[in-house]
Chain A
Amino acid sequence: MEALFAILIGLFFAAAIYLMLSKHTVRILLGIVLLGNGVNLLLFTTGRLTREVPPIIPNGMDALAAGAANPLPQALILTAIVISFSFFAFLLVLTYRAYQELGTDNTDEMRLAEPRDEERPPLGY
């Protein structure tokens, strides 16, 4: 089962990275969303897979039932989902605003910080 997940996760990463290597910010953004999901699944699988029994302690017991899912990766992923969502929202707005201000979504044309013909620093003292 883990191997199957490993292959799916590999595909998640491959697709995400392929999209992120594009010059278009919208595609990069889509890639980042996929990457987030891929990482979450990676964490989930690393904690080993179990079926259907959630990590909730039944009434009248002090510990999880046997065969319950591993709670630790779930806790890590839960916050990661929210964080990556807000990160995604931020990047989306950034993309949107960049598109409005610069009129392009091509990263090659966004050269405000590192202009093409930057001046040399002065050689004096």
Chain B
Amino acid sequence: MNTLILRTVAPVLTALMLLFSVFVLLRGHNEPGGGFIGGLIAVSALAIYGIAFGVSAVRRAIRFHPMAIAGSGLLLATLSGLISIFAGVPFMSGLWIYPEVLGVEVPLSTVMSFDIGVYLVVVGAITSIALALEQDSEPREVVAEPPPLRAKRPRKPRPKPKVEG
């Protein structure tokens, strides 16, 4: 899987897929889509990047630990539910505001922030699982010397992992 074509295409593909995932997330309220699907698309994007450049590259690319992303998503989702306390309505009631940004009315809601929370949890948790597994199946020395971000130079092909036990 460590081919030149993949490594050339992967950054573009990943970027596009991440963009698409956000698009799917945000349009989810009125068209097919939403936090779960968007999150899974984003995970796939990161998985492709990981297959092309290795786990450490992904870890550096996303900057935060994936579980931290998941945790912040859960926090965001919970807070979205808690906001309704201040409006005096039950937990998880949807609240909407329509501020004008640059002359365009933008509908914002706790429902949307909740969906973003869902997105982040899915991205974080499943990326974490995928990365943990991928890293575990990589030979140790590759982990010890991570390639630089957006590595362009071809690496020597990885040795086939041996079956243990």
Answer yes or no: A and B touching, Cβ < 8 Å: yes
Contact A56 B31 (CB under 8 A): yes
Contact A93 B164 (CB under 8 A): no
Contact B165 A56 (CB under 8 A): no
A78 close to chain B: CB less than 8 A: yes
Contact A89 B129 (CB under 8 A): yes
Q: Name the residue among B40, B132, B164, B165 with the largest chain A CB count within 10 angstroms.
A: B165
Of the candidates A54, A82, A93, the one whose C-beta lies within 8 Å of that of B129 is: A93
B 119-161 binary contact with A (CB < 8 Å = 1; else 0): 0001001100100110000000000000000000000000000
Contact B32 A56 (CB under 8 A): yes
Complex: A56 Cα to B129 Cα, angstroms: 33
Per the 8 Å Cβ criterion, residues 2-41 of B in contact with A are 30-32, 34, 36, 40
Q: B31 — nearest CB in chain A belongs to which residue?
A: A56
- Name the prevailing secondary structure of the B interface residues: helix
Q: Name the residue among A78, A82, A93, A100 with the largest chain B CB count within 10 angstroms.
A: A82
Q: How large is the interface on B (under 10, 10 to 19, 20 to 34, 35 or more residues)?
A: 10 to 19
Complex: A22 Cα to B30 Cα, angstroms: 45
Per the 8 Å Cβ criterion, residues 52-106 of A in contact with B are 54, 56, 78-79, 81-82, 85-86, 89-90, 93, 96, 99-100, 103-104
Contact B165 A103 (CB under 8 A): yes
Complex: A78 Cα to B39 Cα, angstroms: 13
Q: How far is the CB of A123 from chain B (nearest CB, A)?
A: 41
Contact A82 B122 (CB under 8 A): yes
Contact A56 B30 (CB under 8 A): yes
Complex: A26 Cα to B32 Cα, angstroms: 35
Would A54 and B32 be within 8 Å (CB), given that A82-B122, A93-B129 are in contact? Answer: yes
> Which residues from chain A sit less than 8 Å from chain B, CB to CB?
54, 56, 78-79, 81-82, 85-86, 89-90, 93, 96, 99-100, 103-104
A sample of 27 cross-chain residue pairs with beta-carbon separation below 8 angstroms, ordered by A number, consists of A54-B32, A56-B30, A56-B31, A56-B32, A78-B34, A78-B36, A79-B36, A81-B36, A82-B36, A82-B40, A82-B122, A85-B126, A86-B125, A86-B126, A86-B129, A89-B126, A89-B129, A90-B129, A93-B129, A93-B132, A93-B133, A96-B133, A99-B165, A100-B164, A100-B165, A103-B165, A104-B165
- Apart from A86-B129, A89-B129, what 9 extra A-B contacts exist at CB < 8 Å? A56-B32, A78-B34, A81-B36, A82-B40, A85-B126, A89-B126, A93-B133, A96-B133, A100-B164
